[in-house]
Structure 1
């Protein structure tokens, strides 16, 4: 380790988490992902019925939502690494919520996709700046802080399906317009942190020259592949579980989705804390190795045991969610916003592409075949993660 690196690490040693900032970022992440990754997949059944869509067309809605967010996140990350624009933190949350609200009055499939794209772009603008803010507020507790931030998003994703019956039971899709007041309320929540973010970003820019580490492009590409496999599995379960459990009511199947994603939110939080102790790579490989054998039991259980399997499955699949963000920031220490955009955006976009592929599989072979594929994806991800660079080797502390 070089003298300059050691000096930088000594400066940042034992810096506590700025909890007010972290919990604000987490709350805003909850609102953003409540409507994007939470409600959009859960609304597919209703969009399909209202507009008489095929499985493939229905999956295209998820693709548009996730691909716009995925493509834009790294772009926003690159732009804001050069010149931070902290106002995107507030504007992004507003656009993601308001865009989905407008789908409630979309007159056609084309308009529906347009409003979904607006929501996805809002999410894409939000994530890099919010994740950078969480990084700056984390002190030396990167895994723990990132876990708090990410668990907000995963909790939003978990509660998204539960909001559907609440909003739509009496009003139909027009009930989504009730999200507009929520979009307005998101402005004061997020705006309170903009002054602090501006100050921290300027301070980080002054320290950036002290970072001696180099970006590990090959490792970042390998990690993106792991994230893609995990995302295909995660989103595939969320989208196709209601169809797989077609013998149940929509409310019952969406409750099972809540169990899966809610367990994932818990896994995200605990996984982030554990990763600070045992290492990022060990946590990632171990958690995904658990997921496959558990998932393969799903077709053979029912009732209470279905809930148990989904609890363990969700926990293990998403235990590495915040871990991959921190891992990417270690691999790309000179481009923190880009690292955040890639680690979150790659998963979001890949999940959308995977949902269309799985929709085609479902149309041809049936939904049961989809779940067979989904159960094997974590195993493939674990094997690939095993060959990632060792995160336990000392690396420079990234400050921006």
Structure 2
């Protein structure tokens, strides 16, 4: 008879995945990242010509977008840990889209940076609440739910350059004004899940210990943040500087190659979430970054179809740990889920904007080719740092 309570308790541990909520968060993540991390880097070429900017000034646009997003996300996350504010979820998506749309009316660089900052702050408000909601809707399938959520974001990043290539390059920057109705439509998508999210947060508050047990691992979180930052520098560096590096191609052709790179990363994100259930997250981080290294190294030396294949493999491998790193960070900081999401999705990824400005300065002095030499070494450095992360299997046993 002693075994019966254990048999009855098992279904409670295997909580089901709430698909409608997860796919809603994933869809809103698509819209948010389509305009922020997707379109902003791709628009740098057009902003450069429209406002007569040099490389450093051009990448300043990316810096303002990513800096406002990356700095604000951990702050929004900390506030959300103390008192969740579900209205930030729809408001964040709305501001991220409307901010970029208004850049179509910007009369000068300062106004451009202001509107970009509004978009970045919207993204910063969106991510912690959306990631928390995904965590609550995931049941016992944390990695899979985060993979679905992150695939939405990475798909937005992939389609951003494609949208710029197929539409904005023909319509001009004023074509961004058509994003205004999209911003209002996003409120319909995000608003329909708010009642469920409010109820779920209330129940989680009453039984907070069941959300995720354990104590914060500050050293592990710091090391993981370094890996995420290096991966972000690599990703954003490729997207921003690819059109400048392949100057023999048209803007449309280079943006399509960016779509190939980030689109392959979206596939890698999904499969990485599936593989995380079979191998530990630390091993996946080390292996994925290590595999990405040779593809990064050979890219400057291949052309044509081989370059496309190399970008596919490069994007797939380097971004396959994207969703896993979010779950991993939440395990590192179980007492602060919102801040963990802000660090892994916001601060770490947003640091790519800082790296892009640094690389822009290098491009002005040494040329764009030097940037790709630096980018080729970043995955290797990330793999080495990931090897010193604590074992997540041990962490899971401690939390059980």
TM-score in same-fold range (> 0.5): yes
Contact conserved, 2:133 with 2:197, CA < 8 A, in 1? yes
Report matched runs for 1:162-173 at 5 Å. 162-173=162-173
* Structure 1 partner of 2:224: 223
Q: Note closer, same or farther for the CA distance 1:398–1:113 as it changes in structure 2 (3 Å cut).
A: farther
SS in 1 for 2:17: coil
Partner Cα distance (2:195, 2:295) in 1: 46
TM-score, length-scaled by structure 2: 0.95
Q: Which runs of 5+ in 2 are unaligned?
A: 1-5
Contact conserved, 2:93 with 2:122, CA < 8 A, in 1? yes
Contact conserved, 1:212 with 1:396, CA < 8 A, in 2? no
* Structure 1 partner of 2:302: 301
SS in 1 for 2:396: coil
* Structure 2 partner of 1:328: 329
* Structure 2 partner of 1:367: 368
Contact conserved, 1:94 with 1:184, CA < 8 A, in 2? yes
SS in 2 for 1:276: coil
Shift of 1:11: 7.0
Partner Cα distance (1:343, 1:12) in 2: 29
Deviation track 1:195-214 (CA, whole Å, cap 9, x = no partner) reads: 10111111111111456511
* Structure 2 partner of 1:47: 47
Report matched runs for 1:155-234 at 5 Å. 155-209=155-209, 212-234=213-235
Contact conserved, 2:228 with 2:349, CA < 8 A, in 1? no
Partner Cα distance (1:151, 1:169) in 2: 26
Shift of 1:96: 0.1
* Structure 2 partner of 1:126: 126
Partner Cα distance (2:11, 2:117) in 1: 43
SS in 1 for 2:248: coil
Deviation track 1:236-284 (CA, whole Å, cap 9, x = no partner) reads: 0000001111100000000000000000000000001101111111111
Contact conserved, 1:104 with 1:176, CA < 8 A, in 2? yes
TM-score, length-scaled by structure 1: 0.95
Which stretches of structure 1, 4 residues or more, deviate above 6 A after TM superposition? 396-399
Report matched runs for 1:231-242 at 5 Å. 231-242=232-243
Partner Cα distance (1:392, 1:212) in 2: 14
Shift of 1:44: 0.2
Q: Which runs of 5+ in 1 are unaligned?
A: 1-5
Shift of 1:349: 2.4
* Structure 2 partner of 1:393: 394
Contact conserved, 1:213 with 1:395, CA < 8 A, in 2? no
Contact conserved, 1:61 with 1:116, CA < 8 A, in 2? yes
Partner Cα distance (2:350, 2:312) in 1: 25
Q: Note closer, same or farther for the CA distance 1:396–1:191 as it changes in structure 2 (3 Å cut).
A: farther
Shift of 1:192: 0.6
* Structure 1 partner of 2:138: 138
Contact conserved, 1:167 with 1:176, CA < 8 A, in 2? no
Partner Cα distance (1:336, 1:317) in 2: 25
For these two proteins, the number of residue pairs brought into alignment is 393
* Structure 2 partner of 1:348: 349
Contact conserved, 1:213 with 1:396, CA < 8 A, in 2? no
